[in-house]
Structure 1
Amino acid sequence: MTDTSSPPRAVRLGGLLMWYAVLGGAVAWSTHLILAWGVTELACAGGHNDVAGVPLRTFVAGAVVLPGLATAAALAVAWPAWRRAVAATRAATDESDRTRAQRAAMMALIGLGADALFLAIIIAGGAALLVFPSCPA
């Protein structure tokens, strides 16, 4: 008996998770920037030392930790996506599958680099916000 099935096609590597891997760090950094820096500036300009009853330092810590975790999660999604895409590129039997897998590998690689950069920026920005006084006199 001969096997008449067609060769396996490349695994679908796109979708929302791939976009999260690529853009998750940028969106998290933007959120960090608006919440940590913007809200601190508004609170200090208004003469307040809290945000809706939450101490400013606690609010800033949350505005660093949550976007940092979201960026780390995007990084954790980008790594296996890149490995799967590279494996799919090597296993591709026709040109359209190879092109699709190479595109996915490129997106995941961009996500790896961008997410690592945005995580470093969030950590550095958070360290500055937590070390220096929130509202300089």
Structure 2
Amino acid sequence: MGLRAAPWLLWFGVLGGGVAWSLHTVVDWGLEETVCRSGHDEVLGLPLRPVLFVLAVLFLAVSLLSTLASHVVWRRLRGAPADGDRAALRRQRASFMALVGLVGNVLFTIMLVMSTVAVLVIPVCAL
């Protein structure tokens, strides 16, 4: 895979998990806070817990896809030649970015798994 063919895949692999976790945190908290403060536990006639669970699973899927993307890019680019030409340096930089994305995405995926479990275990609107 040439890096010119899919730079979006590299950036998705680097940023996808962090963006998914951040959006999950904001959307989940905002939705729960808004619904619970109104004195209800339903969103558009649906119970809040399943809505939060579906959102958590969707963000978890984005994080997993981002992890997979960074892994694919890293596997294809690792071991780039260390000579000094510009193309080799770009490949090395992209390989490093993919590795950072892979490690970060694993951590974000773990946090999203824990958040998904928390939606199932912790009562909504309990306070």
Name the SS for the 2:89 alignment partner.
Answer: helix
Counterparts in 2 of 1:48-87, with a 5 A limit? 48-87=40-79
Counterpart of 2:24 (choices 32, 43, 46) is 32
Q: Distance in 2 between matches of 1:113 and 1:93?
A: 26
Counterpart code for 2:91: A
> Is this contact kept in 2: 1:35–1:60, CA < 8 A?
no
Could you tell me how far 1:44 is from its partner in structure 2?
0.8
Question: CA shift at 1:93, angstroms?
Answer: 5.8
1:15 CA displacement: 1.2
Task: Indicate whether 1:46 and 2:49 are aligned.
Answer: no
**Moved beyond 4 Å, runs of 4+:** none
- Partners of 1:67 and 1:16 in 2: how far apart? 19
The gaps in structure 1 that reach 5 residues or longer are 1-9
Structure showing greater Rg: 1
Structure 2: unaligned runs, 5 residues or longer:
none
Distance across 2 between alignment mates of 1:53 and 1:35: 18
Q: How many residues align?
A: 126
In 2, Cα distance between equivalents of 1:134 and 1:41 = 10
Normalised by the size of structure 2, how large is the TM-score?
Answer: 0.90
SS at 1:79 equivalent: helix
Query: C-alpha deviations, 1:25-78, integer Å up to 9, x for none?
Result: 011112211222221121111111111222101111111100000100001111
CA distance in 2, matches of 1:47, 1:39: 13
- Of stretches 28-37 and 107-116 in structure 1, the one that deviates more from structure 2 is 28-37
TM-score (norm 1): 0.83
Give the root-mean-square deviation of aligned CA atoms. Answer: 1.8
Write the distance in 2 (CA, Å) between the matches of 1:81 and 1:16.
Answer: 11
Tell me the equivalent position of 1:135: 125
Give the 3-state SS of the residue equivalent to 1:47 in structure 2.
coil
